[in-house]
Amino acid sequence: MAQLPARRIRPALHGAELEVQMRRSFTRHPFEKVIVGGLWLCGIVSLITTLLIIETLFAETIEFFREVSIVEFLFTANWQPLFEPEEFGIWELVSGTFNVLFWSLLIALPLGLAAAVYLSEYAHPRTRAILKPVLEALAGVPTVVYAFFALTVITTDVLRPLLGQDRVPIFNSLSASIVMAIMILPTIASVSEDAMSNVPRDLREAAYGLGSTRLEVAARVVFPAALSGVIAAVLLAIARVIGETMIVAVAAGSTPALTLNPLASIQTMTGYMLQVGLGDAGRGTIQYTSLFAVASMLFIFTFITNVAATVIINRFREAYE
């Protein structure tokens, strides 16, 4: 039997050889230069925009700290910049932000992961093809719609009849948290389901061959293998909750409070920024610069979340051949 000639495998190009090959490619295909130039331009514009935002943010923050001690800002717990006596302890706003974050994750995390496991391991392909787009459609609902849904339906028609009008104020953290959970549910479910679906089928078949049930395969094989994707989904949801403005401004109230009580009226960092941004604070006033100080704190929290996400995802990432 005649043997087929062996294919010659080209060695991978590195360093100077790769650069020479790319230059030859550009010479043969000049339109690639336009594409590469456009990509470079997009990258430069993004970098310059980011640097300008950071410069504006911290320049106004420095002006704020020329009038307010950083010790008062970081080590006191009373926030009252719009009334006398003025106080600038940031932790009531931080507490309000983490109040909404905690209760919304407490609701959305188990529901989102359960939906991801069902879509990945239990649902028929036709069922998955219907349910997943419907679930993802929730992410396209405008947040202002969610905000008034929380205020007029969740609070008025659900929480007050269930818990009593005397216990549930019209503005409360729980209604905002419930609606926020509905908003981030598609993110957790969809991204987690994608990660679980990408787990190699060989792992599932090996577990079934050892006599595992479908639930055991999902909990002990698929979920640990997809852990980096699940963590990424949760961190994306956290970033969205921390940065959400309209829902907390409309439904949670504008009363800074150092509490995790879900029935309390609170104010988050983004809620305060919206209040001042739409108010009568003049440029250069302490109220105006306090907006940027709060925004800087929010920027730091978001940056820490993103760095933690990168570290955790790299730590738990599974590689398959």
* Average pLDDT value for residue range 288-309: 87
Average pLDDT, the chain: 84
Q: What is the pLDDT of residue 30?
A: 67
* Average pLDDT value for residue range 76-90: 84
| Domain boundaries, given as residue ranges, for the chain | 79-316
pLDDT digits (tens, 9 = 90+) for 100-154: 999 999 999 999 999 999 988 888 888 888 888 888 888 888 889 999 999 889 9
Say if residue 30 is preceded by a cis peptide, omega within 30 of 0.
no
Q: Are 129 and 209 in contact (CB under 8 A)?
A: no
Percentage above 70 pLDDT, the chain: 88
* Average pLDDT value for residue range 250-275: 88
Q: What is the pLDDT of residue 309?
A: 78
**Residue spans of alpha helices (H) in the chain:** 15-28, 31-65, 70-75, 91-117, 125-137, 143-149, 160-163, 173-197, 201-209, 214-217, 223-225, 227-243, 246-247, 269-277, 286-316
pLDDT at 320 over 70: no
Q: Which residue has the higher pLDDT, 53 or 22?
A: 53
Q: What is the pLDDT of residue 287?
A: 84
Q: What is the pLDDT of residue 13?
A: 47
Q: How confident is the model at residue 273 (pLDDT cuts 50, 70, 90)?
A: confident
Q: Which residue has the higher pLDDT, 224 or 320?
A: 224
C-alpha 114/C-alpha 46 separation (Å) is 37
Q: What is the pLDDT of residue 1?
A: 47
* Average pLDDT value for residue range 53-62: 88
Q: How confident is the model at residue 276 (pLDDT cuts 50, 70, 90)?
A: confident
Q: What is the pLDDT of residue 19?
A: 62
Amino acid at 137: A
Q: How confident is the model at residue 182 (pLDDT cuts 50, 70, 90)?
A: very high
DSSP letter at 199?
S
pLDDT at 10 over 60: no
3.40.605.10, 1.10.3720.10, 3.30.499.10, 3.65.10.10: which CATH number matches 79-316?
1.10.3720.10
C-alpha 63/C-alpha 284 separation (Å) is 8
| 3-class SS of residue 227 | helix
